[in-house]
Structure formats: structure tokens, C-alpha cells
Structure 1
Amino acid sequence: MNIDWSPLIISIKTAFLSTLITFIIGISISYIMSNYRGKYKGVIDGLLTLPLVLPPTVVGFFLLLLIGKNGYIGKLLLKFDTNLVFSWTATVIASTAVAFPMMYRTSRAAFEQIDSNMISAARTLGLSEWKIFYKIAIPLAWPGIIAGIVLSFARALGEFGATLMIAGNIPGKTQTMPLAIFFAVEGGDMKKAIMWVLIITFISIIMILILNRWSENQQRTIGKTNRREYR
């Protein structure tokens, strides 16, 4: 059987890039939101979390309204002869949109667990907000951030609905593994569907094992640190 491995390559590339984007944007916004005390915090938090609870096809529809030919961003890009719909870039956008809440929620929870006295002491010592962010907040919240990275990667890897809406199913271009599974089943090619199911399941298990191993190592490190402090 002649196997086309492009869905695997496209899925891995898309998941890695979307995870990188969600990491950069997610930890920045989650840190800001963890310190924000405005009256609209609940509304903003709800909007940022919305892709987590909405059906992926609905997320894809909203993205289509933004970047489609008749969308606000789409019309602007058309002036530069650029069309994002039905392109690999669209798969990255879709995966980023659905994976972002994973990174945001997990990182925000990690930032909120930081002792506020440490942040206040750093401000008293004259550290800028930027230095407090990357020298104190990120290292202390790192276990939670790692969990967010793993969960975001897994979510991006398994994205289906939003990708189908704005990127379509173009073999060798936008066809990811979830899309390949769906259309293989629809076409009656169960062997191909099973193959992709096993591959994506194996990758997902590896990601879960990495997360569990990291958590165990962190617990051992924290335990050793606490024992030294009590001696």
C-alpha cells in the first residue's frame, strides 16, 4: 500500500507552530489577566475561554467571518493579493484558536498561585514589570505552563472542525490526520483510517506520558527542597 505521509507531517508542523503561538500569546495574556482587577474581568475571561466550550465548527465559522473573502481581515488581505482561506496558514490559525484556551487557563491558574508577597517585594526592590514577569513569575509558574504547552499541543494535533471550515481537506496542503481519518472512513477505507487513528493515539499517549513524567519530577524536586528547608 502506497502511504501518503503528508497528513502526519502537516499535523506535526501545524501543532508545533500553533503551540508556539499559543505559548507566546497565552502566557502574556494569562499573566495580565491574573493581575487584572477590573470590573470586566469576568467578561474578558469568558471571551478568551469561549473557544474551549464552543463547538469547533462554530469557532471555524467565526474565523471564516474574520479571514474569509468577505471578512474584515480577509478584505484587507485581498488588497495585498493574500487569501488565507484553504491554505496551510488557515490550519495553523484554526489550531491556534482552539488550543489557546488550554494554554490560557492553565497558565493563568499557575500565575494566580504565586505568592503575591514575592511580586510586591520585587516591585519594592525596583524591578520592572517585565523583569518580574520573566525572572520571577515564569519560573514559579513553569510547571503549570509546561502542562499548558502539552495540552495545547494535543488539542492542536486533534483539531478537526475549525480546520475543515476554513482550511478544507486538500491532500498534501491542509489535510491533517483528523481530516484524513474522517474522509478515509467516509470513503470506506477502514485500513487507512485505523492506521491514522493508531498514529495519532500513539502521539497523544506520548504527550500524556511526558506530562506525567514532568509532574512526577516536579513533585520530587519540591519534596527534596522542602526536606532541606526543614532540616
Structure 2
Amino acid sequence: MFNILPIEAILVCQGAEHKAVCQGLSRVSGKKPTVVSIPVGVSVKQYLEEWLSTGFLSQSSVLVMGLCGSLNPRYGVGDVVLYDDSDEKFTFIIQHHLKERVSLVTAWTSDRFIHSAPEKLSLGKANNADVIDMEGTLIQEVLRKGKVPVATVRVVSDDCHHNMPDLTSAINREGKLETFPLALAMMRQPVAAVQLIRGSLRGLKVLQEVTVSLFSS
């Protein structure tokens, strides 16, 4: 697919999302991009600045993949979205390839974990946004300074109708999820935890499928 605009790297948050993308790539043949595991949240900025300074990327295109949350009732768990603030040419190629499977959306990046459904709906209306993540704007900022074309494909893993456990304390300064605080947060809100797990499993399955679709010849 990407002979016109070769992708040198895929950026995806560490953990389950990174694993899903790698599993998807393992199912395709031919040359594959490097999959780079990035921190969750604000730590990604410094990480990418240091990474970019090595000159690894040159000016080849980078694809950001992963999960996101919905801020708009129109988008539910398992929906594939393509951010509208990315490189225009790159975005067009991906949209043309995925066709009706992907929706072009406006994303909003938060510096904290948003777990309340009413707050999600409020943020969506206030910012005229469809989905939310914790890294998008920071990634765009760093890569644009480096003149690296970037596009973002994500899968919705949580809707805006159900609350989720508050995972704020589970994300450390390095952008890693810590097991014990994560388990505590899930135990405090078991119903929300079940919703989160179901959505994540569905989102990760679709993320793997989309990876296969994008990189199959």
C-alpha cells in the first residue's frame, strides 16, 4: 500500500497496544516498518524529541496507531478513526485505502485520564472534538518541528456513555502503567472495570485487524 509514501516507523503506546500492532504485522509479508513503543501521556514529548535528535527518521513518514476514547455518541467501541489534523497527503492515502471502514475525526488531547462519561460529552462539545487521547497533540508538535509527515489511525476502546475506572494514579512519570495501582483502581470500580476490559479487548482486536489491512499488499 505505502509504495508512494513509505512508512519508516509506527508509533504506538507501550503494552497491549504495541503488542496488537506487532501481532498484526506478523501476519503480513514483505518489508515492514519499525514499531516504536512510546510512553503514555505527556512523557511522550521528551521521548520523541530525544529520538528525533538521533536522525533515525530523516523525513520519512510516521504512522501513529493505538486506542482512543469517544467524545461523540456517533463513535462507539471498535470504530476506526483517522485524525483530520495530520499530513494531508498521507491522510488521504490511508482514507482511500480503508474506505468506509474509517471515519475522519477531530481529536482532542488531554494531559490527564478522563474517566467520567458526562465529562467526556462536555469536553467533546466544548472542543468540537470526536475522540480523545493523551499523546496526539504532543506527537504532532514534535514531528512537525522535525518536518516528518505524520498520520494517526486509532480505534475507539471506550465510548462516552459509560464511566471508566480512574486510572490517573496508575500512570507513572515515565508514562508506564503500574500494575498494583491499576489493580486497585479496577477493584474500586468493578462495574466500570468490566466495561473497560471489554472495550479494550474489542479495540485491540480491531487494531490488529486494521494493521493487517494497512500493510497487506
Higher strand share: 2
TM-score (norm 1): 0.29
Higher helix share: 1
Which is higher, the Rg of structure 1 or of structure 2? 1
TM-score (norm 2): 0.30
